[in-house]
Amino acid sequence: MQNYKLTLCYDGSRYSGWQRQGNTPNTLQARLEALLSRLLEQPVELAASGRTDAGVHARMQVCSFRAQTTASCPELLARLRGFLPEDIGALALEEAPPDFHARLSCVEKTYVYRIWNSEAPDVFQRRYRLRVPEALDLAAMEEAAGLLTGRQDFRSFCSNKHMKKSTERTLRSLTLEKEEDELRLVLTGDGFLYNMARILTGTLLQVGRGERPARDMPLILAARDRSQAGPTAPAHGLFLWDVKY
């Protein structure tokens, strides 16, 4: 069996997230596994670098799978592209060493949350940005971001109440990038808990709107209680942006 590394991008709008789960009809994993199994005429199981939530996009998602085939990677990639719907793109397919695993081998992931910070309408990017018409205090958001980075217990920023494993993660950086009216929150870390990028964003937006001070951040972290953090920002602004091995 050969091990493969498949790099994808997708518009998550019409999918119920990455992870295959029981009868949920339209998950990316189920759709892609069905497609690859048909193409390769054998059952294919996909591992991904991380599970994106329903409605979250991927500029870059990395998967791995094992299969036995005489087809070359360029042949397989071309065939796969021929069958993918237009909201999923296959960026690359390569042979991978036997021990490569898209989730377990991943050392760093970057998420980007895109915000359209203007009173003007956002017609052409409306599916990929959250619209926030009111002015935001970027200095306060940056101060708060600085208090959230590093090795921390992010339990307060996790929607899974029954998370039994460690909720410690290293958020290597959380920076704000402003380009004209678009504000981007760029989050890089060794791992992200369920909804973590979106709850961090929702909390920073509260700070930006002056609804709570930056100095609340250490208190939220210390509470280890989801109810202390801000709301979960909508899915459609979030992109899995980069994955490192």
> Which positions lie near its own copies, rule CB under 8 A?
9-11, 57, 59, 81, 84, 86-91, 120-124, 126, 128
Closer residue to its own copies, CB minimum distance, 157 or 239: 239
User: CA 115, CA 126: separation in Å to the nearest integer?
Assistant: 10
Pick 7 or 167: Cβ nearer its own copies: 7
Rounded to whole angstroms, the Cα distance separating 26 from 71 reads 28
Minimum CB distance to its own copies smaller for 91 or for 138: 91
Amino acid at 97: P
Out of 53, 87, 225, 242, the active site residue is 53
Q: Which amino acid belongs to residue 24?
A: T
Q: CA nearest 144: which of 224, 223, 62, 201? A: 201
d(CA 234, CA 231): 9
Q: Is 53 annotated in the active site?
A: yes
Single-letter amino acid code for the residue at 153: D
Please, are residues 57 and 240 in contact by the beta-carbon 8 Å criterion? Answer: yes
Query: Which is nearer to its own copies, 107 or 120 (by Cβ)?
Result: 120
Q: Is the dihedral of CA 164, 148, 207, 113 positive or negative?
A: negative
CA atoms of 93 and 97, how far apart (whole Å): 13
Q: Which is nearer to its own copies, 121 or 213 (CB)?
A: 121
- Three-state DSSP state, 67: strand
Per the DSSP assignment, residues forming a β-bridge with 80 are: none
CB of 128 to its own copies, least distance (A): 6
Strands (E), the chain: 2-10, 47-48, 57-67, 88-96, 108-116, 130-131, 150-153, 168-179, 182-189, 238-244
Question: Which token pair is 133?
Answer: 């018409």
What minimum distance in Å lies between the beta carbon of 123 and its own copies?
4
Tell me how far, at minimum, the Cβ of 200 lies from its own copies, in Å: 23
Q: Least distance from C-beta 176 to its own copies, angstroms?
A: 22
Least Å distance, CB 136 to its own copies, is 20
User: Mind telling me the catalytic residues?
Assistant: 53
